[in-house]
Amino acid sequence: MARTFQVGDTFTHVRQCDRLRPVYYAGASGDYNPIHIDPEVGRQAGFNGVILQGLCTLGWAVEAVAVFVGDPGRVRRVKVRFSRPVLPEDTVTFQGRVTAIADGRLTTEVTATNQRGEPVLRGAVVETSLG
């Protein structure tokens, strides 16, 4: 199925961090930093409990673009700054916009905000190949 893209195209991807997602992601990724799995350590760090791994949020930003282009194998580059942790029970809305199409590459900018409207990523850019 041929699909064409244009600069200015937008897309939205919503993900929920369910209560145990940091624990599930710890097992899948091997990131067992106690701040992600031990609520007491999370409280000592100044949170209400555990926080989600930033690299999981990065993965979701990549996923938002992979779903938009229809093929996860086309992702070529991702760059993000982590501005705020995602907490269990948070809903994160990813909004993407195509900013450039050149040299067989599609460049998208992605914002990610929690249900309070606070950004959890800054300056996120994901590039994919077009074919």
Partner 1 sequence: MALDPKFVGRAYGPFTYEIGREKLREFSLILGGSVPSAGTFGEPPEHVSPLLYSQEAAQAGPYGDVIAFPSFAVVFAIRPFSAAIADPELGVDRVRLVHGEQELEFLGVMRPGDVLTTTGSITELYRKAGMDFLVVTTETRNAKGEPVVRGVWTAVIRPA
Q: Minimum Å distance from CB 80 to partner 1?
A: 6
Rule CB under 8 A: which residues touch partner 1? 13, 15-16, 18, 21, 24-25, 27-31, 45, 54-56, 58-60, 62-63, 66-67, 70-73, 75-82
Q: Minimum Å distance from CB 14 to partner 1?
A: 10
Strands 91-102, 10-16: pairing is antiparallel
What one-letter code names the amino acid at 3? R
Distance CA 112, CA 131 (A): 26
Q: Minimum Å distance from CB 9 to partner 1?
A: 18
Indicate the residue among 9 and 63 with the shorter CB distance to partner 1. Answer: 63
Report which DSSP code applies to 49: S
What one-letter code names the amino acid at 85? P
CA end-to-end span of the chain: 12
Distance CA 56, CA 62 (A): 10
Q: Minimum Å distance from CB 4 to partner 1?
A: 18
Indicate the residue among 23 and 101 with the shorter CB distance to partner 1. Answer: 23
